[in-house]
């Protein structure tokens, strides 16, 4: 079997070094736990207890009500094969895709990577680790989310593994008797289009110490810090996340579960992606004729802040229609990203809308001409907007969501 993939290819060199270092530290900590306090095997009746605890959660019936009769969905079946695992942990990485014809059809959980680890040998036995091709027929990629999982657009686009093939490969290792472990496992199963009943969801068996149901669910970083006593690396690696989730389940089987996560912790209060997003501005609906150098020059000259990196512009496949591009502009910190957004000079008139908006101008040094389009594409999250001109008009969107980070988007108008 091929060695586990590394998900750091799409990160900058400094990010990759930090990720590799943090990942090594996390794996060292896991090995210490598995050879120390979590060494003894878990009796299978304890796993059954955690399955039952998951089912007793108030949200279980809603979360795990899978549309297994829909086209493309598979239900696990009873089988006995050499590859079938008794217990396995699973984790998926995802991207955002949109339908080519219906702009309201947005899938924010399109599969790009899936990892399955053997719950009884979680360090040495990585059963499956697959990069999955996107987009599926009839769709185009809106956001590869490289800044979260590190997979480059090229890796995802060039993969020969379809969602259906990944689904089939995963089902080699699980039957209806397999116990599946995951953090918010319902999301992974929905992404894989697999219906399964015997589940341990670490987001359901553990809760924060609060009576507020809205914030009771802990994040994986919470579990790693408070149960396993180590810090998870920023960014996502589906193999590592599956292993840590399995360790959290083992900890619960041996030491108890329930309302044991301190509520006052800042770790895991928001999606793990928040930290990765906080220093990035997302640029989209970029017209032909605009290049990476143009965007870098714009932020350097107009915002007086040098980006640490500007991703290659990915152009959508629109089947004869006008093609637009998108990329992420990364800064050294959230503060740099915030300041870059605030500093962009305005052009044109401000409109009386609830969303923040500025119009800005920038020059394109290339001889090519960017084609302007007069459709304003407001973000469905209502993020603040600014418009820049870059041989055509581009507006940037972003809002300090819950006062945590700016996520800025750019679109041609």
pLDDT, one tens digit for every residue, the chain (413 residues): 333 444 445 555 555 666 666 667 777 888 888 878 787 889 999 999 999 999 999 999 999 999 989 999 999 999 888 899 999 999 999 999 988 887 778 888 999 999 999 999 888 889 999 999 999 999 999 889 888 888 999 999 999 999 999 999 999 999 999 999 999 999 999 999 999 999 999 999 999 988 877 778 998 988 998 998 888 877 678 999 999 999 999 999 999 999 998 876 444 444 444 555 667 887 776 777 778 888 888 888 888 888 888 888 887 766 656 677 778 888 877 788 888 877 876 544 433 322 333 344 444 443 333 333 222 233 333 345 566 665 444 545 443 332 222 333 443 22
- Residue 6 inside a domain? The answer is no
Q: Which of 253, 7, 4 lies closest to 118 in space, CA to CA?
A: 4
Q: Are residues 86 and 178 in the same domain?
A: yes
> Smallest Cα–Cα separation from 387: which of 356, 348, 355, 360?
360
Report the alpha-carbon distance of residue 209 to residue 206 in Å, rounded: 10
Same domain, yes or no, for 294 and 265? Answer: no
Cβ pair 221, 197 in contact under 8 A? no
In a shared domain, residues 269 and 359 = no
Last residue of a domain, one of 216, 248, 273: 273
- Match 């041996």 to its residue by tokens: 254
Of 194, 177, 173, 179, the residue nearest 75 (C-alpha) = 194
Tell me, yes or no, whether 8 lies in a domain: no
Examine residue 1 and state whether it is found in any structural domain, yes or no.
no
| Residue 387 pLDDT | 60
Q: Are residues 246 and 282 in the same domain?
A: no
Of 273, 305, 321, the position where a domain reaches its end is 273
In this structure, the answer to whether residues 123 and 231 fall within a common structural domain is yes
249 & 312 share domain = no
In-domain check, residue 4:
no
Question: Which pLDDT score, from 0 to 100, does residue 325 have?
Answer: 79
Residues 315 and 354 in one domain: yes
Rounded to whole angstroms, the Cα distance separating 5 from 126 reads: 10
> Residue 330 in 3-state DSSP?
strand
- My answer on whether 80 and 194 are in the same domain is yes
The domain total for the chain is 2
3-state helix, strand, coil in the chain (%, to 5): 30, 25, 45
Look at residue 258 and tell me if it is in a domain: yes
Distance CA(158)–CA(132), nearest Å, equals 9
pLDDT in the model for residue 405: 28
Shared domain check, 305 and 195: no
Query: Which stretches of 262-305 are assigned E, i.e. beta strand?
Result: 280-286
- Chain position carrying tokens 């501005």: 281
Residues 27 and 172 in one domain: yes
Is the residue at 3 inside a domain?
Answer: no
Question: What is the span of the domain harbouring residue 21?
Answer: 13-273
85 and 41 in one domain?
yes
Instruction: Note whether 87 and 221 are same-domain residues.
Output: yes
End position of a domain, from candidates 224, 245, 273: 273
CATH of the domain at 56: 3.30.420.10
Its pTM surpasses 0.75: no
Distance from CA of residue 235 to its chain's centroid? 8
């Amino acid at each position: 079997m091929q060695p586990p993939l590394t998900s750091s290819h799409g990160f900058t060199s400094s990010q990759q070094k930090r990720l590799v270092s943090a990942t090594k530290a996390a794996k060292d900590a896991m090995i210490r736990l598995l050879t120390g306090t979590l060494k003894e095997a878990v009796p299978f009746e304890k796993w059954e207890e955690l399955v039952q605890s998951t089912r007793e959660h108030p949200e279980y019936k809603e979360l795990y009500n899978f549309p297994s009769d829909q086209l493309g969905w598979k239900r696990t079946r009873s089988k006995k094969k050499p590859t079938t695992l008794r217990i396995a942990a699973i984790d998926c990485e995802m991207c955002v895709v949109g339908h080519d014809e219906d702009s309201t059809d947005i899938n924010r959980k399109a599969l790009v990577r899936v990892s399955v680890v053997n719950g009884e040998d979680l360090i040495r036995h990585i059963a499956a680790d697959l990069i999955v091709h996107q987009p599926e027929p009839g769709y185009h990629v809106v956001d590869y989310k490289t800044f979260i999982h590190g997979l480059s657009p090229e890796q995802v686009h060039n993969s020969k593994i379809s969602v259906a093939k990944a689904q089939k490969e995963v089902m080699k290792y699980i039957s209806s008797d397999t116990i599946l472990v995951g953090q918010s496992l319902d999301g992974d199963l929905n992404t894989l289009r697999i219906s399964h009943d015997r589940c341990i969801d670490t987001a359901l068996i553990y809760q924060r110490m609060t009576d507020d149901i809205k914030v009771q669910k802990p994040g994986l970083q919470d579990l790693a810090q408070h149960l396993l006593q180590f810090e998870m690396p920023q960014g996502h690696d589906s193999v590592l996340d599956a292993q840590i989730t399995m360790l959290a389940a083992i900890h619960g089987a041996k030491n108890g579960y329930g309302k044991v996560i301190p509520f006052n912790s800042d770790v895991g209060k928001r999606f793990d992606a928040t930290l990765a997003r906080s220093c990035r501005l997302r640029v989209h609906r970029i017209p032909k004729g605009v290049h990476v150098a143009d965007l870098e020059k714009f932020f350097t000259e107009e915002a007086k802040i040098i980006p640490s990196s500007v991703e290659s512009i990915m152009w959508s496949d629109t089947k004869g229609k006008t093609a637009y591009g998108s990329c992420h502009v990364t800064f050294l910190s959230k503060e740099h990203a915030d300041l870059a957004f605030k500093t962009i000079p305005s052009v044109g008139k401000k409109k009386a809308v609830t969303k923040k908006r500025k119009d800005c101008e920038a020059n394109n040094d290339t001889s090519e001409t960017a084609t302007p389009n007069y459709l304003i594409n407001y973000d469905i999250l209502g993020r603040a907007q600014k418009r820049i001109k870059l041989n055509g008009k581009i507006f940037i969107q972003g809002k300090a969501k819950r006062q945590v980070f700016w996520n800025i988007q750019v679109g041609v108008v």
